[in-house]
Each structure stands twice: as C-alpha cells, then as structure tokens.
A and B are shown apart, each in its own frame.
Chain A
Amino acid sequence: MPTDLLPLVEQAGRNQWLAIAPELMLGLIALLLLVLELVLPKAQRGLIPGIAIVSQIAVLVALIINLSTPYIGAGPTFNGLLQHTGGGQFLRIFFLLASILTCVLGTVSLPRQRMPHIEFYHILLVVTAAMMLLAQANHFVMLFVALETVTVGLYILVSYYRDNPLTLEAGLKYLIMGALSSGILLFGITLLYGAVGAVPDADGRLHTGFEYQTLARFLATHPGNFLASAGIVLVLAGVAFKIGAFPFQIWVADVYQGAPTPVTAFLAVASKAAGFAVLLPLALEVFPSYASLVIPILSAMAAATILFGNIAALTQFNVKRLIGLSGVAHAGYLLLGVIAGFSQPQAVGAVYFYLFAYLLASFAVFGVMTQLGGSDDATQDMDHYGDLARERPFLAAVLAIGLGSLAGIPPLAGFMGKLVIFTAAFKAGHYGLLLVAITGVVLSIYYYFGWIKAACFPTNPDPATPVANTRGPVHRGLGLALGLLAIASVLLGFYQGALGRWLLGL
C-alpha cells in the first residue's frame, strides 16, 4: 500500500486555523486557569473564576462580531474534518453561553464544598471547546473524538463532589451508560465505514465512509444495504443515549439527581444540545435517502419519549429528578422538530429556537435551585421551596418565569419555541405525533405548576425532613444572570426580532 506523504503534508499546510479560533482560545484559557492557580498568591486565587467568566464573555463577543465568517458555505476545512455552517455558528454561541452560565452557577455552588475549584472550570472549558467542534464535525473520526472528549470530561464533572456518595453513584451510572452508548455509536460508525468501502474521486484520491458527503452519496445510490441499515440504527441508538430519548433514558433521573447542580444544568442544556448537534446533520444531510428507516425509528422514539418523560415527572418530589424527567420530554419535542425537518427545512431553525428558549428557561430554574441547594445538593425536595415567594420574591419570580417558559405558557419564550416546532410538524403532516406532543404539554403544566405552587405557599413543617436550604442573600453575579435570563425569556416571547429571523432562516 504505497502512500505518498507529500500531498498530505501539503494539505496539512493549508489548514485554516483561524476557522477554529474560538475553540483554540477556550483551550488556551483552560490552560491559563491552571497556570494562574500555580502562580497567583493564595489570597488572589478567588479571582480565577471571574477570569474564566470574563474571558469566555470576550470569546463570545468576538464570535458574535465574526458571525458571518467567510468559512461558512466554503466547503469542508481541515481536509474534510470540519464543515462551517450557520447552524454551527449558532450552536457554538449556544455552548459558550451555557458554559458561561454554568461557571456563574459554579461560583455559587463550589465554595460550599471542600473541593479544589479551578479544575472544575478547566474541565468545563475543555468540554465546551469539544462541543463547539462537535457542532461543526463533518467526519466520523472528528465526531467520535470530540464526543468522547465531551463525555470523559462530563464523567469527571458529574462525580466532582466526590465526598458525597450520591454524587459518586451518579458518576458511576453516567460512566457505564455513557461508555455503553459510545460503544454502540462506534460500532455503528464501523459498520457504515465497512459498508461504503473505498470510493475513488475524479483525482484518484480514495474517500471512505467516514466523510459525511461520501457516505451520503453511497446511501443515495445503494438503498436497502443491510450493513448500512444496521450502522444507521446503531448510530441513532448511540445518539439517543446522549439526548436521553426513550428507551435510553434510564440514566437521566439518577444522574441528574446526584450530579452537582451546576453540572446538572450543563448536562440538561449543553449535553442535550450536543446530541442534537450530532443528530441534525446526520439525520437530515447524511441519512435522508434512508428516511423510510430513520423516520419511523425517530417517530416512535419521540412519541415514547414525550409520554414517558411527562408521566414519570408527575410523581416526582425531588426537583432535580423532576427537571431531569421533564428534560426527557423536551428532548421528545426537539425530536419532533428533527422529524419535521425531513420535509420542512425551516424545522431546523425551529429546533435551534426551541433550544435557545430552553437554555434561557432552564438556567433560570437551575440558578434558583443552585442558590437554594445546601451543601448536600442531591436532596432538593419541593418542600424546601415552601413560602419562597414571601421570603425571596426575586427568586420566586425568576423560578415562575423559568418554569412557565419550560411549560410553554404564552407569552414566554418557551411558548414561541413550542409554537414554531409544532407549526413545522403540522406543515409536515405529523398529526399523530402532534397530538402526543400536545397531550404531553398539558400533562407538563400539572407538575410545573405544582412546583410554582409549592414556592408560593408555606408547606407544612415536617420535623422528619429538616430543611437544608440556605435562604441567604442572593449572590450578586448569580442575581444579575438570573435577572437577565428572566427578562430575556419574557422579551423573546413577545419579540423575536433579528434573532428569530436569523434562526428560522438557517
């Protein structure tokens, strides 16, 4: 097998490093944080989380200024590893925003633990950079390596409060489930690679099934290939684990409950979005010629996910389990958007809009949960929220707006998100799924409002469960972030403006 290395060296010289400048910056900031912890005197180490947040905001601003880079639509870079699209730009901003907000939650939650702090921010930044690369992957090797960087980083973050046996148990469960899903995804990729074989192009260069475009062309010309079908099913199953879709949702409630609350927020928002960042290009650009196989699988998954998430959440009193299971239901609504995307291209924009509204609402709720959680934040029950509206009206208002937006109450952002997804599904003609989704929304109002009700009225003081929450003053940074999130949730519901036009036009 003679391989002339010179063309490869030449191609490596043409890599467009500027195209991934934000990811490189995040990696450098992550390293800088570790260096700062070594060189700064002990009294000034408290500044490091602030440095992490401010530098990420700087990267975010730079990313927004350079929103329409020339790399978009200019074809794959890095010899086919990455592809830059408008949707990819949105997801990069999304992950960066989620990471900043998680850092803010971390500044509240971490000082309550006797744990090293800086590594938390370091790993979070690395995971975020990997997610941003994942959103632009155009090659299965890139996809796998980025996804594993995310997953291995999240194993550490989930079990970060390692003094707490509940957290470690959650970490172990996430580890087993995450590794299992990676194994399934990898075997699917292998089968797809094997099915395609080597395809020479006009220049005589050999292409393989790792490249999305080559695979898409192969699938279009070989309908009903057994190896490829098996590979597609396994890849979808692996991705379904990551987004927590039925029947692969068994880990969600336990892991969400045991993980530190900031990490739960990151899992609920960024990790779920990462799953959709993988699923959207694969389902809509690579697998569309196997739609007769993919659509029934995704439809069954979406219906079961919506029903299971909402029904299981009805009986929960631990708020972290409740939000985890309601997050399963949200994954179901998003899957509905993906299915609609097969015939309605604007459904992709609807999925992005929904994700953005979900980010705003979720972080508002998780912010309140982080503030109220004690040093053992795995046991947060609804009873702990009793009389919150009288004692801390600001937190109760943010909680009500966040939960209302998650439930899809007009005129909040979550309502618009559901509306655009359901409209796309209606136009695509998925009436049965739409009926299931609307049933799910009605069910969800019950438990979201049960939580709001718990926060508005005093609960019976039960001597058996000591109230472990800390109703101290709200941290300034967290208060600012919560206020902004609540205002954004309300404003985005009334007025979508340029953001809505951009997202729905993607």
Chain B
Amino acid sequence: MNAGLNEYLILSGLLFALGFFGVLLRKNTLVIYMCLELMLVASTLALVAFSRFNGTLDGHVFVFFILTVAAAEVAVGLAIIVALFRKRGTVQVDELKELKH
C-alpha cells in the first residue's frame, strides 16, 4: 500500500498538535523544548511531502534551512536552560515565577 499526500499531512498535523499541546501542558523545560522541536519536525515532514507531490525542489531546500535554524535555536536554548539550572537548581516552569508583581 502506498501512502498518499493525505496520510503524510494527517501524520504531520498530529505531530504538530502533539508538540503544540505539549508546550502548553508540560511542566519540565526540557520536555517543552522537545515539543517545540516536534512542531518544527511536523512542518519539515509536511514540506517534504508537499515538495514530493508537487514536483518542485523548493520544499526540500527549505527543510535544510529549517534544520540549520533549529540547530542554532537548540544551541542557544540549551545554554539558557543550563545557566538557569545553575542559578536556580530547577527547570520546572511552575517553579520559575519570580517575575511577577
């Protein structure tokens, strides 16, 4: 059985929803970060599928840009998370609420 465009899109939509609700509902910063990456991966999958079924290369090329950007984002993000853990000893978002007045 061959998977058509719709199957790819449904999978991609599910991944995106999984990531989105993970960001909203999970409390551990690292898990939230994984969910953010999941959202980017969902777009990547949809782009490759569209590109394959459209017969253009633009989507494939965009995927490389997304991978590069995601790598940069992870490098900066993990640095911030590590620095925060050293200062506060926690990465649970519900314990990080000193910025309130």
Contacts from A to B (Cβ < 8 Å): 1, 3, 140-141, 144-145, 148, 151-152, 155-156, 159, 162, 165-166, 168-173, 175-176, 179-180, 182-184, 186-187, 189-191, 193-194, 197-198, 206, 208, 210, 253-254, 257-258, 316-318, 321, 378
Tell me whether B36 and A152 are in contact (CB under 8 A). no
* CB of B76 closer than 8 Å to a CB of A: yes
Across the A-B interface, the 5 shortest Cβ-Cβ residue pairs? A183-B39, A194-B50, A254-B99, A148-B69, A168-B84
- Please, which residue of chain A has its CB at the minimum distance from the CB of B9? A194
In the bound assembly, the distance between CA atoms of A155 and B61 in angstroms comes to 26
In the bound assembly, the distance between CA atoms of A336 and B78 in angstroms comes to 38
Residues of B contacting A155 with CB < 8 Å?
A: 73, 76-77, 80
Q: Which single member of B19, B76, B84 contacts A156 (CB below 8 Å)?
A: B76
In the bound assembly, the distance between CA atoms of A173 and B94 in angstroms comes to 12
Known: A152-B76, A159-B83, A180-B36. A170 touches B46 (CB 8 A): no
Provide a sorted-by-A list of 29 A–B residue pairs whose CB atoms are within 8 angstroms: A1-B55, A141-B61, A144-B66, A148-B73, A155-B73, A156-B76, A166-B99, A168-B80, A169-B84, A172-B84, A175-B77, A176-B36, A180-B39, A182-B40, A183-B40, A190-B50, A193-B50, A193-B59, A194-B46, A198-B55, A198-B56, A206-B55, A206-B56, A208-B54, A208-B59, A210-B58, A253-B99, A257-B99, A318-B101
How would you classify the secondary structure of chain B's contact residues: helix, strand, loop or mixed?
helix
User: Among the interface residues B19, B76, B93, which one has the most CB atoms of the partner chain A within 10 A?
Assistant: B76
Apart from A141-B58, A184-B20, A254-B99, what are 17 other A-B pairs with CB-CB below 8 Å?
A141-B62, A145-B65, A165-B84, A169-B96, A169-B98, A172-B84, A175-B76, A175-B80, A176-B36, A182-B40, A183-B40, A186-B39, A186-B40, A186-B66, A187-B42, A189-B43, A210-B58
Contacts from B to A (Cβ < 8 Å): 9, 16, 19-20, 23, 29, 32-33, 36, 39-40, 42-43, 46-47, 49-50, 54-59, 61-62, 65-66, 69, 72-73, 76-77, 80-81, 83-84, 87-88, 93, 96, 98-101
In the bound assembly, the distance between CA atoms of A215 and B42 in angstroms comes to 22
How near does chain A come to B82, taking the closest CB pair, in angstroms? 10
Residues of B contacting A194 with CB < 8 Å?
A: 9, 46, 49-50, 54
Tell me whether B77 and A179 are in contact (CB under 8 A). yes
- Please, which residue of chain B has its CB at the minimum distance from the CB of A185? B43
Residues of A contacting B32 with CB < 8 Å?
A: 176
Tell me whether A162 and B83 are in contact (CB under 8 A). yes
- Please, which residue of chain B has its CB at the minimum distance from the CB of A142? B65
In the bound assembly, the distance between CA atoms of A206 and B51 in angstroms comes to 12
Residues of B contacting A254 with CB < 8 Å?
A: 99-100
In the bound assembly, the distance between CA atoms of A467 and B49 in angstroms comes to 60
- Please, which residue of chain A has its CB at the minimum distance from the CB of B99? A254
